[in-house]
């Protein structure tokens, strides 16, 4: 299951994210999304956990918790929607 983690501090590392969620089960992947141009964190990321029960436990436990001074917004990731980029006209 893929988990969305929002409201991350710009200083949070993928290792810190992995450690925080690793208490709840195996982590396949921990990714912080960065700006293409600057390489700076965009303030959100994703955790992928192979076990859905562990992932749900992690969501329940971590939503609203503090990490690096920020209160996390954690939920099941929604599929990416298809569509154009902002500002495009057809």
pLDDT in tens, 51-83: 999 999 999 999 999 999 999 999 999 987 766
Question: Is the Cβ–Cβ distance between 60 and 54 less than 8 Å?
Answer: no
Separation in Å, CA 31 to CA 6, 26, 49, 58, 88: 12, 15, 12, 16, 28
Q: How far apart are CA 15 and CA 10, in angstroms?
A: 13
The neighbouring-strand residues paired with 7 are: none
pLDDT at 81: 75
| Contacts for 74 with CB less than 8 Å, ≥ 6 apart | 3, 4, 5, 6, 58, 59, 62, 63, 64, 65
State which CATH number among 3.30.70.330, 3.90.650.10, 3.40.50.280, 3.40.50.720 fits the domain covering 2-76. 3.30.70.330
């Amino acid at each position: 299951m893929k988990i969305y983690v929002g409201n991350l501090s710009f200083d949070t590392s993928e290792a810190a994210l992995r450690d925080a969620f690793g208490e709840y089960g195996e982590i396949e992947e921990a990714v912080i999304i960065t700006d293409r141009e600057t390489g700076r964190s965009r303030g959100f990321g994703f955790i992928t956990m192979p076990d859905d029960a562990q992932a749900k436990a992690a969501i329940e436990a971590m939503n609203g918790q503090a990490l690096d001074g920020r209160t996390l917004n954690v939920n099941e990731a929604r599929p990416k929607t298809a569509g154009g980029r902002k500002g495009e006209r057809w």
